[in-house]
Amino acid sequence: MKKLNMIYEGKAKQLYTCEREDALIIHYKDDATAFNGAKKAQIEHKGMLNNAISTIIFKEMARAGIPTHYLETLNDRDQLCKKVHIIPLEVIVRNVIAGGMSKRLNIPEGTPSPKPIYELCYKNDELGDPLINEDHALALGVVSESELITIKTLTLQINEVLKKLFDQVGILLVDFKIEFGKTPDGKIVLADEISPDTCRFWDKETMMKLDKDRFRRDLGKVEDAYQEILRRLELIKTV
């Protein structure tokens, strides 16, 4: 399957049309941005690593019965995915307090949450992806009430699948952001990517950060951290 026309370029990925009307090719770039594009860099091999990591995770989701946009990995940097309408919501789950929530509520980073915390942000760069609630999402007209129920149910299931997957390889799933899409027949499916760009992963023994916070906070060894996540996931693949 060949890439035809680029129809969208985001911060970390490009989207191309292809010979299939019902599918698009997602191309993973090495570009990294943080703080709504204010900080930019290239992380060597990030595109390849995130493509490989996201592939393993989306296959695991399919095994767990989670509907996704994923169809096939075409090569080192390209994935074939179902064409969907992306719902402009960033859906976040937090198992351990960190990052934005730690700052907003002055709770020390690393505090475990008594239950998974479900958050929605409105995906809108101009507004800086503001935190919203379900009523705001309805008022924005981006989603229906029944879709909100589906999104929350799927999100909490995805959290369980991810927690279990990473727990097996000694990694604590601190938090993550996911996005959902709608197929032409109205089905809600997990879309976008799941990778160290979109999750916080801490080594369970050392608490070392193995995710994009290494870039955001200038901690160094960013590529090594992404390599380590792939290496551990590959250990599971062979079991």
Enumerate binding residues for ligand 5GP (CB under 6 A): 90, 92, 98-101, 129, 175-177, 197-200, 212
**Nearest-approach distance from CB 199 to ligand 5GP, in angstroms:** 5
CA distance 153 to 188: 11
Instruction: Select 18 or 122, whichever has its Cβ closest to ligand 5GP.
Output: 122
Q: Is 134 exposed, middle or buried (0-12, 13-18, 19+ CB in 10 A)?
A: middle
CA distance 47 to 221: 16
CA distance 186 to 51: 26
**Nearest-approach distance from CB 239 to ligand 5GP, in angstroms:** 26
3-class secondary-structure state, position 226: helix
Instruction: Select 177 or 214, whichever has its Cβ closest to ligand 5GP.
Output: 177
Query: Which of 27-64 are b and which e, b meaning 16 or more Cβ less than 10 Å from the residue's Cβ?
Result: bbbbbbbbeeeeeeeebeebbbbbbbbbbbbbebbeee
Instruction: Select 68 or 195, whichever has its Cβ closest to ligand 5GP.
Output: 195
| Residue sitting closest to ligand 5GP (CB) | 99
> Are the C-beta atoms of 166 and 29 separated by less than 8 Å?
no
**Nearest-approach distance from CB 106 to ligand 5GP, in angstroms:** 14
**Nearest-approach distance from CB 182 to ligand 5GP, in angstroms:** 20
**Nearest-approach distance from CB 180 to ligand 5GP, in angstroms:** 15
3-class secondary-structure state, position 153: helix
Instruction: Select 69 or 212, whichever has its Cβ closest to ligand 5GP.
Output: 212
Instruction: Select 23 or 158, whichever has its Cβ closest to ligand 5GP.
Output: 158
